[in-house]
Amino acid sequence: MQEKISRRHFLQVTGSVSLATLVSGCGAFGVGGQGTSGGSTTITVWDIRTGNDQTIIKDQTAAFNSQHSGMRVVIEFFQNDPYKQKLQVAMGAKHPPDIFFGWGGGILKSYVDAGDVYDMTGALNTDSSWKNRYLPSVMTGVTFNGKIYGVPNSGAQPVVFLYNKDLFAKYHLTPPATWNDLLQTVGQLKQNGVLPIALGGGSKWPYLMYEEYLVDRVGGPSAFDAVVANQPNSWSNPAFIKANSMIQQLVSAGAFGTNFASVVYDTGQASALLYTGKAAMHLMGVWEFNAIQSNSPDFISSGKLGWFPFPTVEGGTGDPKNLAGNLCNFYSIASASKAPQTSLTYLKEAVLSDDEVSKFINNGEVPPVQGIESKLSGAPHGDWLLFIYHSILQAPHYQLSWDQALPAQPAQALLTNLDQLFLSQISPPQFSANMNQTLGS
Amino acid sequence: MSAIPKRRQQRANWTAVVWTAPALAFFAVFALVPLLVAIYLSFLRWDGISQASWVGLKNWATLFSDPVTSHAIVLSIEIMVLSWILETPFALLLGVFLAGPQRYRSLLGIFYFVPLLFSTVAIGITWVSLLDPNFGLIDILLKSIGASTLAQGWLGNPNLAFYVVTCVIAWQFIPFHTLLYLAGARQIPHELYEAARIDGAGVLRKFFSITLPQLRYTIVTSSVLILTGALTYFDLIWVMTQGGPGFATRILPVQMYISAFQNQQVGYGSMLAVLLAAAGIVLSLVLLRVTGFTKMASQLEGL
């Protein structure tokens, strides 16, 4: 018969095993990252783009690798939302890629403040042809305290209204130019049993677009600038309260239907509402054009797709030409990178080079670089591309999406409060009070 | 004390220790050490990328003053109770049904087990598509049978989202518990049923007097798994609603994830993680004690 193991024995064994693993684990925190190997430097790039964009980037990188025998660039692609957490963990563990993809704004600033991003100002200033390649309005997203921490790597993505021309023609409607026009259009569409505006509320971030534009139209950029500068009670600015009341007015007018909070953008359900003819309008970033192009090209080729800028608001102080959306995407270099010079060379030569710009334009995107008007007008869907390009050139202010402009915690709180606002669970003053609590954190 | 010589005793002890060492090492590395690290992190204020600062018990002190966390705790308790109420009756009845010797029952069993085979993320994404108010199958079916007033936005309705998600969780895990009850029911000796049949017992009487009492330990095992599982379940809720709409489905594990990774408050999130782990351990210990599971009394006396 077996003797039962004594408690002392058991604890002895468990304790020594734990101690052993703890000690060996501490020693295993090696430094990863790339370095030189056999005379060639390898750098890693993290990106999230898919489809044609991914193919273009891979081709450019392969061409760069073959032109530079001493350098090797390896790109890894991830999915959008998991990528954000993955990057955060990699930065915290001081084990980041050499070059990483981002949206600029407050999130990038938090990495800059932690000393994790390489300062590119010097490199850009020494090569003015490189620095002047980019449109200044998008560089605001990566410039903090006068220093530049990234370069654009993709098309500019402002938010505009897309609409179904056939539905509008059927009910004798024209694209609304003012807020009152929009309310009237919504009313008429609703009377005829058409869902006026598609909204992917289940994903929450589509709510941001209405908030960003309305606050800007009502009170100009200064309202949100005060929030970014962490001024106390800046969320109580009357522009926010008015904009939020207008949002709730739009919701109760039935503009989004009753089920908008269940429609998820990321699985394509919101986009489908527009191109299957169920909804008449959709406020979304210009990438939506490419999404419709992939899912239902007939919708575009048969001329059903139209576009117009966000309406003006009567009595508002914001410039009607102001834009909101994603400035563009950026590549930044991690300060832990062992090969910053190689990274800089890659960014200068392979990212948004003339060749890559032409390919992006043919893919329906508008890279924020100077002097591409002729290329744009000659490209397929040139009218759409020129509309975007002129909007960016003429915009006195281009507001970065708030969930990227704000640091992580207020951004998360903003999304939750917008969710409750659209569902009429909280009032505009309550929204401002809740958001004020996130300031200064 | 037995009559085994001391040397053989010692060798027997060490043999047992050597065999359990690998499993112990695994448990220590992946469960014990992270728990200790989480306890340490809960005393810090850290955003994950800059320097951490020691704040002692400050995170713990805010535990009940934060309304979102209190609401998350309430929701977690609700999901535990609701999961048990939804899963146990169905799994028990299905398990006992499938335990019968007829051929068609095992064929049906194959269909019932299908949800067990899918990855949680796949289940979440598929159900989100099914529940879409415009293009999803559920609402289209409801409209086609004339029940269009029932068709609505399921996951976007703050009053319904929680219950819809709980139902999907139940759908995912009923097959697993059916397996447990199936195994438990197969072990019940036939003599008991024969004796009951001779005494003239009907189906219901046999079920309540023989099947249920004999399944006692299976019920306890399954309940412990359901309750601790529902307490700590994260994946499906995150994929389906991310804690929304508003705070409707922000149970404690979701609140922990949002705090630690999206709000960049790793210290606060670690505190919630330690709370969850402690709650799970206490819960299972209490359940096992209260139900007499640990006494391991035999159920086959007299046979």
CATH number at residue A272: 3.40.190.10
Q: Which residues of A163-177 are buried (b: 16+ CB within 10 A; e: fewer)?
A: bbbebbeeeebebbe
B191 torsion bin: left (phi>0), alpha (psi -120 to 50), beta (else): alpha
Q: Is it the case that residue B298 has pLDDT exceeding 80?
A: no
pLDDT digits (tens, 9 = 90+) for B45-87: 887 777 888 888 888 888 888 889 999 999 999 999 999 999 9
Q: What is the DSSP letter of A236?
A: G
Pairwise CA distance, residues A398 & A411, whole Å: 19
Same structural domain for residues A240 and A292? yes
| Interface touch A9/B263, C-beta < 8 Å | no
Is residue A25 in a domain?
A: no
| Interface touch A204/B242, C-beta < 8 Å | yes
φ and ψ of A201, to 5 deg: -65, -25
pLDDT digits (tens, 9 = 90+) for A64-98: 999 998 899 999 999 877 888 899 889 888 899 99
Ordered by where they begin, the domains of chain B are 56-292 (1.10.3720.10)
Q: In the prediction, which pLDDT does A101 show?
A: 95
Same structural domain for residues A126 and A210? no
| Interface touch A409/B48, C-beta < 8 Å | no
Same structural domain for residues A314 and A377? no
Q: What confidence category does residue B113 fall into, taking pLDDT thresholds of 50, 70 and 90?
A: confident
Helix (H) and strand (E) counts in chain A: 22, 14
Mean pLDDT of A52-57: 89
Residue type, A437: Q
Mean pLDDT of B140-144: 89
Disruptive mutation site among A81, A203, A262 for chain B (greatest number of B CBs within 10 Å) = A262
pLDDT digits (tens, 9 = 90+) for B277-291: 999 999 989 988 888
- Please, are residues A153 and A141 in contact by the beta-carbon 8 Å criterion? no
Which helix H or strand E contains A312, and what residues bound it?
A: none
Q: Which of A3-17, A266-280, A328-342 has the lowest mean pLDDT?
A: A3-17
The partner residues of A282 in beta bridges, in order of sequence, read A162, A198
Same structural domain for residues A140 and A168? no
Q: What confidence category does residue A39 fall into, taking pLDDT thresholds of 50, 70 and 90?
A: low
Q: Is it the case that residue A123 has pLDDT exceeding 80?
A: yes
Mean pLDDT for all residues in chain B: 89
Same structural domain for residues A291 and A245? yes
Same structural domain for residues A197 and A313? yes
Is residue A9 in a domain?
A: no
Share of chain A above pLDDT 90, in %: 64
Q: What confidence category does residue B3 fall into, taking pLDDT thresholds of 50, 70 and 90?
A: low
Pairwise CA distance, residues A36 & A260, whole Å: 53
Handedness of CA B235, B237, B239, B245 (dihedral sign): negative
Q: What confidence category does residue A37 fall into, taking pLDDT thresholds of 50, 70 and 90?
A: very low
Pairwise CA distance, residues A242 & A330, whole Å: 33
Q: In the prediction, which pLDDT does B170 show?
A: 95
Same structural domain for residues A51 and A176? no
Same structural domain for residues A342 and A424? no
Pairwise CA distance, residues B44 & B65, whole Å: 18
For the complex shown, is ipTM > 0.85?
A: no
Chain A residues touching B48 at Cβ < 8 A: 88-89, 91-92
| Interface touch A17/B28, C-beta < 8 Å | yes
Surface of A (390-429) touching B: CB under 8 A: 407-409, 412-413, 416, 419-420, 423, 425
Mean pLDDT of A380-404: 90
Chain A residues touching B128 at Cβ < 8 A: 202, 264, 267
Surface of A (61-90) touching B: CB under 8 A: 85, 88-89
Q: Is it the case that residue A13 has pLDDT exceeding 80?
A: no
| Interface touch B9/A3, C-beta < 8 Å | yes
Same structural domain for residues A152 and A242? no
Q: Which domain holds residue A315?
A: 157-325+407-436
Is residue A20 in a domain?
A: no
CA-to-CA separations, B43 to A13, A142, B46, B276, in angstroms, rounded:
29, 34, 10, 16
Q: Which of A388-392, B37-41, B53-57 has the lowest mean pLDDT?
A: B53-57
Q: In the prediction, which pLDDT does B279 show?
A: 93
Mean pLDDT of B127-150: 88
Place of tokens 């081709």: A59
- Please, are residues B91 and B184 in contact by the beta-carbon 8 Å criterion? no
Surface of B (101-160) touching A: CB under 8 A: 125, 128-129, 131-135, 152-158
| Interface touch B152/A2, C-beta < 8 Å | no
Q: Which residue has the higher pLDDT, B237 or B12?
A: B237
Helix (H) and strand (E) counts in chain B: 16, 2
Same structural domain for residues A304 and A233? yes
Q: Is it the case that residue A16 has pLDDT exceeding 80?
A: no
Gap from A203 CA to chain B (nearest CA, Å): 8
Q: In the prediction, which pLDDT does A18 show?
A: 67
Q: What is the pTM of this model?
A: 0.80
Q: In the prediction, which pLDDT does B4 show?
A: 65
- Please, are residues A2 and B17 in contact by the beta-carbon 8 Å criterion? no
Q: In the prediction, which pLDDT does B185 show?
A: 92
Is residue A281 in a domain?
A: yes
- Please, are residues B261 and B241 in contact by the beta-carbon 8 Å criterion? no
Surface of B (67-106) touching A: CB under 8 A: none
Nearest of A35, A33, A15 to residue A336 by alpha carbon: A33
Mean pLDDT for all residues in chain A: 89
Is residue A32 in a domain?
A: no
Please tell me whether the peptide bond between B245 and the residue prior to it is cis, using omega within 30 degrees of 0: yes
Chain A residues touching B20 at Cβ < 8 A: 13
Q: In the prediction, which pLDDT does A79 show?
A: 83
Same structural domain for residues A121 and A225? no
Q: Say how many domains are in chain A.
A: 2
Q: Is it the case that residue A437 has pLDDT exceeding 80?
A: yes
- Among chain B residues, CA nearest to A414: B246
Q: Is it the case that residue A23 has pLDDT exceeding 70?
A: no
Q: What confidence category does residue B148 fall into, taking pLDDT thresholds of 50, 70 and 90?
A: confident
Q: How many CB atoms lie within 10 A of CB A62?
A: 13
Chain A residues touching B33 at Cβ < 8 A: 18, 21-22, 25
Q: In the prediction, which pLDDT does B227 show?
A: 94
Is residue A237 in a domain?
A: yes
Q: What confidence category does residue A312 fall into, taking pLDDT thresholds of 50, 70 and 90?
A: very high
In A183-322, DSSP assigns E strands to 195-198, 279-285, 305-308
Mean pLDDT of A177-205: 94
Is residue A6 in a domain?
A: no
H helical segments located in A279-339: 287-295, 297-301
Q: Is it the case that residue A19 has pLDDT exceeding 90?
A: no
Chain B residues touching A413 at Cβ < 8 A: 263
| Interface touch B28/A14, C-beta < 8 Å | yes
Q: What is the DSSP letter of A380?
A: T
**Residue A26 contacts B where some CB pair is shorter than 8 Å:** no
Same structural domain for residues A266 and A218? yes
Gap from A399 CA to chain B (nearest CA, Å): 22
Q: In the prediction, which pLDDT does B1 show?
A: 53
Which pairing describes strands A157-164 and A305-308: parallel, antiparallel, or unpaired?
antiparallel
Gap from B169 CA to chain A (nearest CA, Å): 18
Gap from B198 CA to chain A (nearest CA, Å): 42
Pairwise CA distance, residues A324 & A404, whole Å: 12
Three-state secondary structure along A342-373?
A: HHHHHHHHCCCCHHHHHHHHHCCCCCCECCCH
CA-to-CA separations, A26 to A207, B3, B48, in angstroms, rounded:
45, 46, 19
Q: In the prediction, which pLDDT does B2 show?
A: 56
Gap from A314 CA to chain B (nearest CA, Å): 31
pLDDT digits (tens, 9 = 90+) for A225-271: 999 988 999 999 999 999 999 999 999 999 999 889 989 888 888 99
| Interface touch A17/B21, C-beta < 8 Å | yes
Is residue A144 in a domain?
A: yes
Surface of A (244-273) touching B: CB under 8 A: 258-264, 267, 269, 272-273
